[in-house]
């Protein structure tokens, strides 16, 4: 829109300041969610470490990329919290760490530690850091605390610096695994990795948690975004019973 207004003003010399220009509104769709049984079935059919990723998306409300970009330092075992850095809208937030996943996460971080030692021996111990962080903390890239919780099995070339590094698992790889697990579970819904996050919000509403709390855990800037989940809560969120069930 800015580019079009600039074209008319600067190049075509046509004044458009009197036009009432408004952005088109995106249609809000009711999210598809898993029942608890369906979510656990899909997770059951996933191999490691994808099973742990799905558990975090379902148990903590993480987006797929938020899960993949988790660093070792972002997991707080003492406070049972996960810190999401630069989530959607470039916002930081904290969400809960499910107690049932503590052992699996400890084991995953031990795996990351062994990979870290292996990378040091092979001379590829650096991990990607944003430019500002890499300048501020030049030694951080080689420290365990900054390593990804879900690292790739293979090295890859950083297109910006041309350095050979171990990045996190790619999102397309996780999405393919989840699609396979959904098919194996016999679920006939238009769903994917993000459905776990929708299901997290829906379960909390069903458990009668305050919608403002759910908003904070999800990182929504507007509570109206969170309120859409009231439309998919069991019994429509209003306790209405069908006449045929009376």
| pLDDT tens-digit readout, 167-204 | 999 999 999 999 999 999 999 999 999 999 999 999 99
Mean model confidence pLDDT for the chain: 89
Domain count, the chain: 1
Q: Kind and range of the H or E element at 81? A: strand 81-87
More confident call, 143 vs 241: 143
> Would residue 106 count as lying in a domain?
yes
> Would residue 188 count as lying in a domain?
yes
135 is catalytic: no
> Would residue 23 count as lying in a domain?
no
Dump pLDDT digits (tens) for 13-64.
888 877 777 777 777 788 899 999 999 999 999 999 999 999 999 999 999 9
**Which residues, other chains included, contact 140 with Cβ-Cβ below 8 Å and sequence gap of 6+?**
129, 133, 134, 146
> Would residue 20 count as lying in a domain?
no
In the set 71, 93, 168, 197, the catalytic residue is: 197
User: Residue 237 above 60 pLDDT?
Assistant: no
136 is catalytic: no
26 is catalytic: no
94 is catalytic: no
Instruction: Provide the pLDDT for residue 139.
Output: 84
In the set 88, 94, 167, 179, the catalytic residue is: 88
> Would residue 150 count as lying in a domain?
yes
Predicted structure pTM score? 0.84
Instruction: Provide the pLDDT for residue 145.
Output: 93
Instruction: Provide the pLDDT for residue 218.
Output: 92
190 is catalytic: no
User: Residue 163 above 80 pLDDT?
Assistant: yes
Domain with residue 104: its CATH number is 1.10.443.10
In the set 63, 165, 198, 203, the catalytic residue is: 63
Per-residue pLDDT, averaged over 88-108, amounts to 91
Which residues form the domain of 216? Answer: 36-235
Q: How confident is the model at residue 239 (pLDDT cuts 50, 70, 90)?
A: low
With contact defined as beta carbons under 8 Å apart, do 63 and 194 qualify? yes
User: Alpha helix locations (H) across 61-165?
Assistant: 64-68, 102-122, 131-136
As a whole number of angstroms, the longest Cα–Cα distance in the chain is: 70
Instruction: Provide the pLDDT for residue 209.
Output: 92
63 is catalytic: yes
């Amino acid at each position: 829109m800015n580019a079009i207004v600039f074209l008319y003003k600067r190049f075509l010399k046509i004044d458009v300041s009197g036009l009432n220009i408004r952005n088109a509104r995106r249609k809000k769709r009711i999210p598809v969610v898993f029942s608890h049984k369906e979510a656990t079935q899909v997770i059951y059919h996933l191999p490691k470490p994808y099973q742990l990723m799905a558990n975090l998306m379902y148990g903590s409300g993480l987006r797929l990329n938020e899960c993949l970009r988790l660093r070792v330092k972002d997991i707080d075992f003492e406070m049972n919290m996960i810190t999401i850095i630069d989530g959607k809208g470039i916002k930081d937030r904290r969400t809960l760490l499910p107690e049932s996943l503590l052992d699996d996460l400890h084991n995953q971080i031990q795996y990351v530690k062994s990979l870290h030692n292996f990378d040091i021996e092979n001379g590829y111990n650096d991990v990607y850091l944003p430019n500002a962080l890499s300048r501020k903390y030049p030694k951080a890239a080689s420290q365990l605390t900054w390593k990804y919780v879900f690292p790739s099995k293979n090295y890859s070339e950083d297109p910006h610096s041309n350095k050979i590094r171990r990045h996190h698992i790619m999102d397309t790889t996780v999405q393919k695994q989840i699609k396979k697990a959904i098919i194996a579970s016999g679920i006939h819904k238009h769903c994917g990795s993000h459905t776990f996050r929708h299901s997290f919000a829906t379960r909390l509403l069903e458990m009668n948690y305050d919608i403002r709390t759910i908003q904070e855990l999800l990182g929504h800037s507007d509570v109206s975004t969170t309120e859409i989940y009231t439309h998919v809560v069991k019994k429509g969120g209003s306790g209405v019973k069908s006449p045929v069930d009376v």
